[in-house]
């Protein structure tokens, strides 16, 4: 899935560019109408004509974007409009659904595959796609772009789900009987526990979900079917969705105007956020502003460890109100052209505390700990989560301006104010100079522990086992440069902002440009969590929950690059901390 992750990264960087160029200076549009409870809703004008890729003659009642090698082949790069999309049409005559066909949208061209096709399914581990139709099962012949009969099943199918890692297919017939199909479509076995099922969906761990005529959701497990409790009773509307790619265990469920994530153990989480109705552009801008500082915010760290992603926490209420509960930031002033330290702070569950008067940078590994490390004027400090304070770490007393923590070991890299790079080990008691790193200004690690830095000449280097190499492909003699901590979807490499463009620098000393430009540059960046990002601008810290932004702010500028990306955004919206570990 390397190509898929590269697509996600490109999207993240586009969003980053949009927010820094537009929203940081208050150019936000009015949000959608909310209902009486304050829930965010999709209003009609969200579905703008700019997003349309096909106009159908009848209602589109099913969609499938296969997450297998058909669309996401890591050896083949494709443009977004070359994706293969399947859809089903139906009409409504006197309250009854009339089949109008199953179609493929391939490279911009629409082909009818089946007159009576009703649903489509694919595993995310192969290239086969299967269709449920009025007369049984079919599979997709990609080479000939047509549907061919699969097995000997002739049941009238209304819903279908494909198992990952085997030939198992679940089918739901129009008399609402659930079957497990095996042996190449030649054998079917009735699932006795499932009664009156209306639709079926598998998650990526092969747990099967369905809802019934009374709009109750069930999970089919080894010990039978279990009703999901805690959801809205007697909803007017229900639907279950195929899960986003990064949600391995669970599926989204829509009940009336709310979206829930239902896990295979029956736990539920409300994921469609609540907010007040936005009435003006000023109010729209203010919902992103989370802290107003007295000085410039020059560094931000959003830890991707148990400080923010604790898999064992039971504090779901806090998590829903403030999804990223810990954020470190550094303040500084500019006096006669010289930086003057103004402290290192923590924002924890909305409360701000100064940890160090002379702290300058913060770093944390991507692991299960609740530890962060701070570079200060007098050495290294470690964060004590229980007491919410900074404590001296090791014996080093160097004046540090940049710090980076290696994943999987106690190694810490520090950059001192005389621009010497050191590798620190043995719990902060031993340091070794990195020879060859000259005039480094800032250091950043990627998630495979490759170290990057830029110099006073604004050239970027990577430190590897075979020495130090200059990153190629970046502009010469830039006026502006910044290294960013990478979004977690980027396994190796770090973002680099050079002048008004963003690039990705890789450990093989190459770089890759993106498609967009910057107009406004933050004073500090924290895109690490991908869809919950923090930026500093004009002495303020802003929080952007991008899924919320997708549902609340749809300006013309944003639409110009979000076209075709809504599903991709939704697919990376929810991750546990354990999923972040490379």
**Per-residue pLDDT for 322 more than 90?**
no
Question: In 10 A of CB 341, how many CB atoms?
Answer: 18
Tokens standing for residue 76: 């083949």
Question: What is the band of 547 on the pLDDT scale with cuts at 50, 70, 90?
Answer: low
Candidate from 48-62, 136-150, 270-284 with smallest mean pLDDT: 270-284
pLDDT digits (tens, 9 = 90+) for 34-87: 333 434 445 565 566 767 778 889 999 998 888 755 565 544 454 444 578 999
Please give the Cα distance from 552 to 335 (Å, whole number): 40
Residues 188-221, buried b or exposed e (16+ Cβ, 10 A)? beebeebeebbbbbbbbebbbbbbbeebbbbbbe
Between 146 and 53, residue with greater pLDDT: 146
Q: Which domains does the chain have, with CATH numbers?
A: 53-190 (2.120.10.30), 281-580 (2.130.10.10)
pLDDT digits (tens, 9 = 90+) for 74-94: 444 544 445 789 999 999 888
Question: Rg (Cα) of the chain, in Å, rounded?
Answer: 26
Q: What is the DSSP string of 474-486?
A: SPSS-S-EEE-PP
Candidate from 24-33, 116-125, 393-402, 471-480 with smallest mean pLDDT: 24-33
Q: How far apart are the first and last CA of the chain?
A: 13
Rounded (5°) CA angle 547-304-15: 35
Question: What is the band of 24 on the pLDDT scale with cuts at 50, 70, 90?
Answer: very low
- Cβ(153)–Cβ(185) under 8 Å? yes
- Spatial CA neighbour of 351 closest among 291, 275, 265: 291
User: Which residues have C-beta within 8 Å of that of residue 523, sequence separation ≥ 6?
Assistant: 296, 297, 298, 536, 537, 538
Helix (H) or strand (E) holding 567: helix 566-571
Tokens standing for residue 580: 């972040």
pLDDT at res. 2: 47
pLDDT at res. 406: 96
User: Which residues have C-beta within 8 Å of that of residue 561, sequence separation ≥ 6?
Assistant: 14, 18, 516
Helix (H) or strand (E) holding 363: strand 359-363
- Spatial CA neighbour of 415 closest among 407, 424, 406: 424
pLDDT digits (tens, 9 = 90+) for 466-517: 899 999 999 999 999 999 998 887 878 999 999 988 899 999 999 998 655 5
**Per-residue pLDDT for 424 more than 90?**
yes
Question: In 10 A of CB 437, how many CB atoms?
Answer: 20
- Spatial CA neighbour of 541 closest among 385, 330, 349: 330
pTM: 0.56
For the residues 154-181, what does the mean pLDDT come to?
96
Burial of 287 (0-12, 13-18, 19+ CB in 10 A): buried
Candidate from 199-213, 273-287, 362-376 with smallest mean pLDDT: 273-287
Rounded (5°) CA angle 202-531-313: 70
Please give the Cα distance from 473 to 450 (Å, whole number): 18
DSSP collapsed to 3 states, 197-229: EEEEEECCCCCEEEEECCCCEEEEECCEEEECC
Please give the Cα distance from 287 to 281 (Å, whole number): 10
Dihedral, CA of residue 537, residue 540, residue 546 and residue 552, to nearest 10: -110
Residue whose entry in the numeric block shows the structure tokens 């148990």:
306
Between 73 and 456, residue with greater pLDDT: 456
User: SS3 for 255?
Assistant: strand
pLDDT at res. 521: 84
pLDDT at res. 69: 53
pLDDT digits (tens, 9 = 90+) for 109-123: 999 999 999 999 998
- Cβ(43)–Cβ(32) under 8 Å? yes
pLDDT at res. 520: 77
Between 440 and 338, residue with greater pLDDT: 440
pLDDT at res. 281: 37
User: Which residues have C-beta within 8 Å of that of residue 153, sequence separation ≥ 6?
Assistant: 136, 137, 171, 181, 185, 188
Tokens standing for residue 548: 């919320």
Burial of 537 (0-12, 13-18, 19+ CB in 10 A): buried
User: SS3 for 267?
Assistant: coil
pLDDT at res. 398: 98
**Per-residue pLDDT for 280 more than 60?**
no
Please give the mean pLDDT across all residues of the chain. 81
pLDDT at res. 66: 83
């Amino acid at each position: 899935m390397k190509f898929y992750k590269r697509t996600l990264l490109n999207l993240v960087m586009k969003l980053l560019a949009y927010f820094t160029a537009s929203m940081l200076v208050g150019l936000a549009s009015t949000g959608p109408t909310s209902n009486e409870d304050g829930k965010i809703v999709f209003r009609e004008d969200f579905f703008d004509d700019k997003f349309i890729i096909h106009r159908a003659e009848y209602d589109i009642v099913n969609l499938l974007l296969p997450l297998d090698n058909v669309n996401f082949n890591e050896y083949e790069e494709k443009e977004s409009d070359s994706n293969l999309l399947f859809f089903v049409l139906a009409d409504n005559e006197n309250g009854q659904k009339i089949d109008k066909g199953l179609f493929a949208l391939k490279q911009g061209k629409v082909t009818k595959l089946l007159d009576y096709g009703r649903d489509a399914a694919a595993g995310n581990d192969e290239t086969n796609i299967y269709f449920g139709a009025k007369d049984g099962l079919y599979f997709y012949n990609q080479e000939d772009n047509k549907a061919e009969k699969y097995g000997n099943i002739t049941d009238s199918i209304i819903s279908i789900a494909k198992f990952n890692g085997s030939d198992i297919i679940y089918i739901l017939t129009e008399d609402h009987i659930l079957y497990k199909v095996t042996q190449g479509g030649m054998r079917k076995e009735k699932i006795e526990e499932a009664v009156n099922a209306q639709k079926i969906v598998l998650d990526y761990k092969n747990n099967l979900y369905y809802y019934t005529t009374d709009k109750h959701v069930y999970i089919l497990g080894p010990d039978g079917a279990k009703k999901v409790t805690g959801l809205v009773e007697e909803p007017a509307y229900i639907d279950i969705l195929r899960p986003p790619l990064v949600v391995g265990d669970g599926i989204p469920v829509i009940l009336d105007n709310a979206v829930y994530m239902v896990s295979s153990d029956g736990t539920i989480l409300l994921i469609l956020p609540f907010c007040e109705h936005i009435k003006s552009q000023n109010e729209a801008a203010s919902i992103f502003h989370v802290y107003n500082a007295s000085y410039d915010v020059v560094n931000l760290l959003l830890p991707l460890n148990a400080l923010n992603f604790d898999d064992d926490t039971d504090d779901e209420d806090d998590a829903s109100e403030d999804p990223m509960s810990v954020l470190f930031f550094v303040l500084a002033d500019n006096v006669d052209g010289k930086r003057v330290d103004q402290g290192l702070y923590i924002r924890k569950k909305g409360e701000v505390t100064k940890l160090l008067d002379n702290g300058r940078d913060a770093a944390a590994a991507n692991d299960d700990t609740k530890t962060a490390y701070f570079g200060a004027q007098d050495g290294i400090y470690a964060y004590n989560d229980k007491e919410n304070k900074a404590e001296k770490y090791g014996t080093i007393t160097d004046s540090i301006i940049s710090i980076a923590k290696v994943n999987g070991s106690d190694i810490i890299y520090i950059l001192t104010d005389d621009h010497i790079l050191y590798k620190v080990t043995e719990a902060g008691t031993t340091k070794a100079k990195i020879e060859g790193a000259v005039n480094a200004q800032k250091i950043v690690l990627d998630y495979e522990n490759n170290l990057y830095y830029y110099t006073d000449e604004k050239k970027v280097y990577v430190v590897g086992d075979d020495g130090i190499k200059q990153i190629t492909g970046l502009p010469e003699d830039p006026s502006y440069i910044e290294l960013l901590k990478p979004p977690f979807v980027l396994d190796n490499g770090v973002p680099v902002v050079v002048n008004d463009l963003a690039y990705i620098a890789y450990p093989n000393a190459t770089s890759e440009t993106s498609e967009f430009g910057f107009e406004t540059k933050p004073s500090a960046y924290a895109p690490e969590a991908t869809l919950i990002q923090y930026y500093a601008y004009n002495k303020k810290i802003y929080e952007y929950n991008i899924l919320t932004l997708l549902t609340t702010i749809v300006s013309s500028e944003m639409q110009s690059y979000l076209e075709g990306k809504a599903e991709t955004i939704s697919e990376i919206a929810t991750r546990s901390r354990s999923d972040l570990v490379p």
